Structure 1
């Protein structure tokens, strides 16, 4: 039990460093923790996240992949890992893995507007502009707090499926 407490304390301290804007220091601690605890999904996720914060997207990828492959990642972090990995793949120009990852995330978190937004960007990057617009329109209709958008929700959803409809 003591080892778990030490691991959890070290992880919490590293996360706090990242949150305080001390990402480089957090990265050093998290990489060490990830080496020491290679089967800990939470540590892998936080290590990926800190690499993204530092603009080290290529280095973030294996940690995101590990976080998603291992058991024990809390749902909120799992959502963040799908979003982070999908977005990172897209930034790196790896569009097909981005699409797969974001769609896998949506399979676990249906109708999630953040995942749908990043999916729309990846769809656009792969030349699927119609599907990208459809995805964004559906997310807008479902999540907008704007009263005018809400009043036209049914129409927006209808036209999202048939962008060329005129009636």
Structure 2
């Protein structure tokens, strides 16, 4: 029996428990991460578990392991970039957060969640102009509000020309 198949069922069970807010999920994920330290999917799920428990600092190495490991499905890679970037921001590690979020955007160009967390990080770094520009572009691109969409060309234009006046 391969190691991958061997841990699929326990990983699925731990994810299910985490989704049900069952405290046993965290212990199961930690045990799986110890047993399969090179498994990127387990590392990602373990990081997520730490984050959901407010253990941000302990989540970081698991997110990093998930992104370094091979074979992480795109959905999990995206989640790992968002999770690691937002966690680093919460921890006050703004430069590192910006780097992770920009790396994520290289793989998931124009992703609204990555851009939103990047905007928050840019604000924390004192780059308010770029933060506002980024949020305006995300709003224009993703809002379902018919008024925002009616003004989308103007919002997109002024996102790049915030200081223009007549």
TM over 0.5: yes
Corresponding position of 1:87: 86
Which SS does the other structure have where 1:111 is aligned? coil
TM superposition shift of 1:102? 0.5
Aligned to 1:21: 21
CA distance in 2: counterparts of 1:4 and 1:120, whole angstroms? 38
Aligned positions, number: 166
1:1-49 Cα shifts (integer Å, max 9, x gaps): 3543330000001001100011x31111111111111110000000000
Displacement of 1:166 = 2.1
**1:70 counterpart residue number:** 69
Which runs of structure 1 show a deviation greater than 2 angstroms over 4 or more consecutive aligned residues?
A: 1-6
Q: Distance in 2 between matches of 1:85 and 1:62?
A: 9
Distance 2:48 2:113 in 1: 17
Displacement of 1:162: 1.0
Alignment root-mean-square deviation, CA: 0.9
Helix, strand or coil at the partner of 1:123: helix
Separation of aligned partners in 2, 1:157 and 1:118: 19
CA displacement at 1:121 relative to structure 2: 0.3
How far apart, CA to CA, are the structure 2 residues paired with 1:156 and 1:2?
Answer: 53
CA distance in 1: counterparts of 2:61 and 2:146, whole angstroms: 42
Aligned to 1:123: 122
**TM-score normalised by the chain length of structure 2:** 0.97
- State the partner residue of 1:155: 154
**Length-normalised TM-score, structure 1:** 0.97
Cα distance in 2 for partners of 1:40, 1:3 equals 10
2:19 is the counterpart of 1:31: no
